[in-house]
A and B are shown apart, each in its own frame.
Chain A
């Protein structure tokens, strides 16, 4: 089997993972059933976790699986099934001009960012990060030394989020 010169095995792996992620992302927007959208998003997040692994960010890849596909998507599916929407009549997407306008807007956005931001970065080929920069040791050391203050702020934010969501969702306090 003769592969073209530029198609290295690593690039083929990246194209496979990235292609599945892109297809799953399209599925989130296109599919009508909310549960199917959520399952597509789970696939997309898994593929993104594998892409983090290919970027040597092992710690964040694991965090992605645990936090996003584990916690956040379970919360999404829980709420979808709790509301028991099913194929509700009013939520079936109808053809309306909003879809065309939205698609055109997305294309315009992608073209604009692509032309302005991506163009100067085309030649960058060599990774320059030090060895093992994504290991749990490195991430943990950085989080608890240089980024201790934002870390504590994030914990306060999460606690406020917990209290706020209980307040919002409870019938009687």
Chain B
């Protein structure tokens, strides 16, 4: 440096310094540029990585939806009625499969039911994901793993399992292969409890879902199911159904309908006649409807328990004459009309009340629309909007209008619980919550009279066979034997038998409706009317379930006497 500065003039020195300065500046610029390029590349790569969308869908569905689970369903005692089990599902990545033919051959050694054509169509091509077979067993999984074929793998899916099987089929409903509810309470949970929403967001994971507790009691449900199955063989009936409702809270304790299906095999739900007769079947419920007529008339005050009606002659409407099945043909008191199930007497009672008042009462009981209930399988009842004289007359003993057995169960609950209508439910409901839903349909005094009439019918009327079986449990009810309409005519010998009951009638807790379709006589000496089949089934069920439900048998005149209303003492 020194030699350079000595030999040259200051200007030259300045020039040299300047030149070096310029060179440094240029170098710095180059370095900056290089750095910018490098950082640009790094930044660009980052942006590129950030915008890559990972395809996590499986054949158009989000992986989370497929692996989504559902909350377990418990009965009121905590017994599991529906649980999720983890099962492996086999999928393939065709683009990773080397030899398709070899793979097909190997797979078919373990899963012979998959056809060669199906496998070839699935495994060839360049797709990233195809299902081969879903919901396998761990044993099959191990075998396929043992084959060592590249491009095959398993995904753990949740599969719905119903330990109760057929016993709870109509309540549970079914789910599809993607674990979405398609029927029964499963469908209801998806729509009302937002399980479907959770599943679609991928939040429906094992522990995240609290168990859903139903009002059903598996023990009671089992007894009901067993007895209904017995009905099909004992009376050679084509169908049978039953429902038990807590009269104070509206909780459904048991609900069964035969023929049924296996919820573990949803395809069986498509079988003929396996619909839920309790909610989605509407029937002419026959004489059980007389309870409704009596409740309406007694509550209006126009008919009193101490009244009598002339039932000597049939009632004529044009060319039709309505007569009694078990005709007494004399003047009958109100309890006698109920006891002997007199059509004439019931029509007279309804006429005393007035047909429009009778129609209004049906509206009050909710017979115009579907029962507000969780199960989606429902059908609109068929009740004429306006009653003519003859329609009102036939309606008073349960013909010419169709409602579901659940309608009747709810109506009976209201009649015996002190007169409060409470909508039924399949979920837990306590007394306080139920009371907020109460709407009064009849007075407590009328309710007491109806309880007496139902008990009287069990002691002296058509319910004696039932009462003999459930002796001590103070069951009472009304039979209904309705001739079925076949091709627009009432078919002789084809009956739909119903028994609508409640127990224990001194302090009612449960209402039950049993329906037996086209029963035949058990033996030569037995009959085919409702008391012989629907009534007997009710008796057997009560005999079994009353101890489970904590109802003590009581015997003695005292209890029966206490039920007689003051007007009749």
A and B: interacting chains: no
> CB within 8 Å of B: which residues of A?
none
